[in-house]
Each structure stands twice: as structure tokens, then as C-alpha cells.
């Protein structure tokens, strides 16, 4: 059997909604096959209702940009909520279209401009330095833990949460939302602890909003309070927004940083190059996002029948947009499987999405990763794997459950 035939026959039995598919380091092979031979692929009902997949760069870009034909108003990822209903549907920023989406985005937009984000640099750098120094002192660490505080503290600073509460927030966020990993999510004890931590998190949010009602500040929580006063948000919507902001940039950025270290370890020449020339930090951040692609996919629902690659996506059917596959598409990127910190590309990567729902935290994520790479080059001389890293069982987040490494200082 030729390799292509073997992959095709295996594909007939692969359920792309099964998170275990992504624990295989070789899962890129499946998506390479899809891009080349089945660019619009129907995944029949299995663990979830059936759905289409687009895997090529230009299709992912086109579907994501066309928010009129492809709606976000149902649910925006694969997962159990496709059976049970999604509480964010039609309410949360990520789950609405058109004018309501614009209205919601405008509530927080100004807090996310590169200028506003730039003001957080000293805080974020101090968290990176503290995390790396602690890890270097320990010598052997699980790097997934090492970088856990970075995204939570960065979002907390933006939300207006005082520094003394950052660790509390990390603990509550970790317990409430846990990990994207399917094995962790399925444990009943983890689910009970998650519900309790989430309740505590919402009480914390409510308390913070009460404080800002009395004494407004220049922060996101104050904006959420103001939007309630003007009738744009209910209190419950404001809390959903708080949740979304904490969640949206948490595991994505964390696994971006873990993936960055692993990519640099795999490509010591690229690490040396970056260490010697920090002018490459910005392209390196873009390359980390493209190569690692911490967000694997998003989901859209067709509002009308659409013809694509000789097949019809029917109105009401859902389409998974696999960013991580688009980012490895040789039609868009030269040598797509090569990690090149100085990559010059004609097209932008899709790791942060595209179109109306383009990642609102893009500037924040980029700053976090830039400071992380900068301090990593300054502080960590070399790193070695203590065991093979274990991939997350997740269709949503591309990352690692465990990445145990030993680190040596410069
Ligand atoms: C490496 C880090 C990150 C990655 C890979 C990432 C990826 C993405 C992607 C792919 C989308 C598009 C979702 C869609 O089209 O349905 C998105 C949207 C979003 N991201 Fe990020 N993100 C990252 C960091 C952040 C950060 C730091 C925040 C800060 C709070 C954030 C908050 C959001 C929000 C609120 C949205 C929804 C925007 C909308 O629906 O209009 N993200 N992100």
C-alpha cells in the first residue's frame, strides 16, 4: 500500500473530534494528507455531531474572514457543548456576530491597544524573570508549571487586579478551568473542585466590580461596570466577559511559551541566532506562534449553502477551521515544517485567527512571548529534556501536559 493510500484508509477511521488524536506527535501527517487530498473533509458523527474541516491556509482565511456566511453564534469549538448547548451562545464576545459583536468588542477595545499593553511591560518582565530564576534555581522542572503565572498575571494586570492577588487568581483559574486536557476534564473530583473554584472566582469578580462602582479606575473591570450602567451588559454578561478574558489568553499563551522553549531546544542553531541578535525577537514571536499554533481550531456554522472544492456545505452545518494546519501549509509558507526565527513571509500566520474575531489579546500575547524569549536568551544557557514531553489530549489547545526539563544558566 502506498503511503497516501495508507493514510487515506486510516483517515476513514479517524475522528478529528477525538482529543486523543492530538497526543500523537505525528498528527501533522493527517492534516498534511487532508490539505493535499481532502481540503474540505466531512467528519461523520462519532463522539460528536458531524462537521466539516478546512485545513488549507486560503480556505481557513476565507471562512474566518466571512463572518456573515460563517457564524460564531452557536459554539466556537468542538467539544461536549455541541451536544449540551453552550452557555455563551449569542451572549459572549466569541459567540456573537455583527453589530452586537462590535458593541461588545468596543467595551474593552481600548484596553488592548499596543500602547495600552506596552505600559504593562515592567510587570510582565518581572514575572518572566521571577519564573525563570525560580526554575533555574530548582534545576529540574516541569516547564508547563514554570510559565503558569505569566499569562494569568499579565491578564490580571490588565483587568486591574492587585499584584498580591495574582497567585490566588492563578490557583483559582487553574482549579476552575483546569487544563484543556481531556483526561483531566473527565475526572469527577476535578469537576467538583472546578465548580467550587469557579464560584469563588465569580465572587472575586463581583467584589472587584463593587469596588470599581465606588472608585472607578483606568482598567477593564471599570469598563465592565460602566457597560452595566449604560445597559450594554447585564451583571451576568459582565462576569462571562471576565471569565472569557481570563480564559482566552491563559492556556494559549502558556503553551506558546512551552512550545517556544521546546522548539528552541530542537533547533539550537536558531536559539544561538536569537541570543546573538535580539533584533530578531519580533519575527521570532511570529514564528513561534506559527510553528507552535497553540490554538488548534475554531468552529463556525454556515448560514447558507456554500460550494467549496466541489462539495456543498449546507446551511446549519458546522465547519472546523484548523489554524495549526493552515500554518503548516506549503502553499502559504516556504518550508513550513522548518522553524526559522528570522522567517520572512508574504502572508501572516493564522495562529491568532483572522477577520472579525481576530484575537483581541494579540498585542498582549506578543509582548508576553517577546519578553519571555528575551529573558530566556539572557538567563538560560541550555536546556535538556528529562523525558519525552507528553502532549495534551485536546482538539482546542496545542500544547503539553508535561514537559520536564533540566535548565542551566548562561
Ligand atoms: C498565544 C496566545 C493566544 C492565542 C494563540 C490566541 C488565539 C486566538 C484565536 C485563534 C482567536 C480567534 C477565535 C475565533 O475566531 O473564534 C482569539 C480570539 C480571542 N482572544 Fe486570543 N489568543 C491568544 C492570547 C490571548 C490573550 C493574551 C488574550 C487576553 C485576554 C486573548 C483573548 C481573546 C479574546 C477575548 C478573543 C475573542 C475575540 C472576539 O471574539 O472578537 N487571547 N484568540
Q: Tell me what pLDDT residue 198 has.
A: 87
**Structure confidence at residue 85 as a pLDDT band (50, 70, 90):** confident
| CA-355 nearest atom, ligand 1 | 15
Condensed to tens digits (0 to 9), the pLDDT of residues 293-316 reads: 999 999 999 999 999 999 999 999
* Residue to mutate (ligand 1; options 244, 248, 320, 357; most atoms within 8 A of CB): 248
CA angle 72, 92, 286 (to 5 degrees): 70
For the CA atoms of 92, 67, 227, 88, the dihedral, rounded to the nearest 10 degrees, stands at -10
**Structure confidence at residue 178 as a pLDDT band (50, 70, 90):** low
Residues ≥6 apart with Cβ < 8 Å to 135: 141, 143, 146, 407
Condensed to tens digits (0 to 9), the pLDDT of residues 27-70 reads: 999 999 999 999 999 999 988 999 999 999 999 999 999 999 99
The verdict on the CB of residue 155 being under 6 Å from ligand 1 is yes
Is the pLDDT reported for residue 3 higher than 90? Answer: no
The verdict on the CB of residue 73 being under 6 Å from ligand 1 is no
Residue nearest to atom 3 of ligand 1 (CA): 252
Q: Tell me what pLDDT residue 187 has.
A: 73
* Residue to mutate (ligand 1; options 219, 252, 254, 257; most atoms within 8 A of CB): 252
**Structure confidence at residue 186 as a pLDDT band (50, 70, 90):** low
- CA 18 to CA 222: how far, in whole Å? 40
The verdict on the CB of residue 75 being under 6 Å from ligand 1 is no
Q: Tell me what pLDDT residue 75 has.
A: 87
CATH of the domain at 208: 1.10.630.10
* Residue to mutate (ligand 1; options 156, 359, 363, 392; most atoms within 8 A of CB): 359
Q: Are strands 318-322 and 51-54 parallel, antiparallel or unpaired?
A: parallel
Q: Cα of 104 to ligand 1 centre, how many Å? A: 14
The domain tally of the chain equals: 1
Q: Cα of 363 to ligand 1 centre, how many Å? A: 10
Report yes or no: 53 and 319 within 8 Å, Cβ to Cβ.
yes
Domain limits for position 161:
3-409
Q: Tell me what pLDDT residue 4 has.
A: 62
- CA 149 to CA 135: how far, in whole Å? 12
The verdict on the CB of residue 288 being under 6 Å from ligand 1 is no
**Structure confidence at residue 87 as a pLDDT band (50, 70, 90):** confident
The verdict on the CB of residue 56 being under 6 Å from ligand 1 is no
* Closest to 67 (Cα-Cα) out of 360, 357, 359, 396: 357
Amino acid at each position: 500500500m502506498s503511503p497516501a493510500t495508507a493514510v487515506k484508509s486510516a483517515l476513514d477511521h479517524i475522528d478529528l473530534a477525538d482529543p486523543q488524536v492530538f497526543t500523537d506527535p505525528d498528527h501533522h501527517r493527517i492534516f498534511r494528507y487532508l490539505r493535499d487530498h481532502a481540503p474540505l473533509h466531512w467528519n461523520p458523527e462519532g463522539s460528536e455531531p458531524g462537521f466539516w474541516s478546512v485545513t488549507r491556509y486560503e480556505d481557513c482565511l476565507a471562512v474566518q474572514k466571512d463572518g456573515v456566511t460563517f457564524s460564531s453564534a452557536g459554539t466556537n469549538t468542538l467539544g461536549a457543548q455541541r451536544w449540551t448547548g453552550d452557555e455563551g451562545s449569542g451572549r459572549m464576545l466569541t459567540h456573537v456576530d455583527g453589530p452586537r459583536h462590535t458593541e461588545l468588542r468596543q467595551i474593552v477595545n481600548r484596553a488592548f491597544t499596543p500602547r495600552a499593553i506596552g505600559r504593562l511591560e515592567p510587570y510582565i518582565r518581572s514575572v518572566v524573570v521571577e519564573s525563570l530564576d525560580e526554575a533555574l534555581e530548582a534545576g529540574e522542572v516541569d516547564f508547563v508549571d514554570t510559565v503558569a503565572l505569566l499569562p494569568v498575571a499579565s491578564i490580571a494586570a490588565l483587568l486591574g487586579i492587585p499584584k498580591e492577588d495574582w497567585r490566588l487568581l492563578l490557583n483559582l483559574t487553574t482549579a476552575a478551568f483546569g487544563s484543556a486536557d481531556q483526561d483531566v476534564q473527565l475526572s469527577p473530583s476535578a469537576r467538583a473542585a472546578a465548580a467550587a473554584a469557579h464560584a469563588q472566582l465569580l465572587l472575586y469578580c463581583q467584589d472587584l466590580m463593587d469596588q470599581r462602582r465606588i472608585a472607578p479606575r483606568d482598567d477593564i473591570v471599570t469598563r465592565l461596570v460602566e457597560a452595566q450602567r449604560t445597559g450594554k451588559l447585564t451583571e451576568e454578561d459582565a462576569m462571562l466577559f471576565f471569565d472569557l478574558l481570563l480564559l482566552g489568553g491563559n492556556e494559549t499563551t502558556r503553551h506558546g511559551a512551552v512550545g517556544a522553549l521546546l522548539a528552541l531546544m530542537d533547533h539550537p542553531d536558531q536559539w544561538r541566532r536569537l541570543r546573538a541578535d535580539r533584533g530578531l525577537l519580533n519575527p521570532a514571536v511570529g514564528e513561534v506562534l506559527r510553528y507552535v499554533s497553540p490554538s488548534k481550531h475554531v468552529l463556525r456554522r454556515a448560514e447558507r449553502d456554500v460550494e467549496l472544492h466541489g462539495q456543498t456545505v449546507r446551511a446549519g452545518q458546522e465547519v472546523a477551521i484548523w489554524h495549526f494546519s493552515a500554518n503548516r501549509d506549503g502553499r502559504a509558507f516556504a518550508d513550513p515544517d522548518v522553524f526559522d526565527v528570522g522567517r520572512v513571509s508574504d502572508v501572516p500566520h493564522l495562529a491568532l485567527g483572522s477577520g472579525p474575531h481576530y484575537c483581541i489579546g494579540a498585542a498582549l500575547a506578543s509582548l508576553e512571548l517577546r519578553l519571555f524569549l528575551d529573558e530566556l536568551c539572557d538567563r538560560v544557557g541550555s536546556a535538556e529534556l528529562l523525558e519525552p514531553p507528553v502532549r495534551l489530549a485536546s482538539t482546542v489547545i496545542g500544547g503539553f501536559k508535561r514537559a520536564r526539563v533540566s535548565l542551566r544558566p548562561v
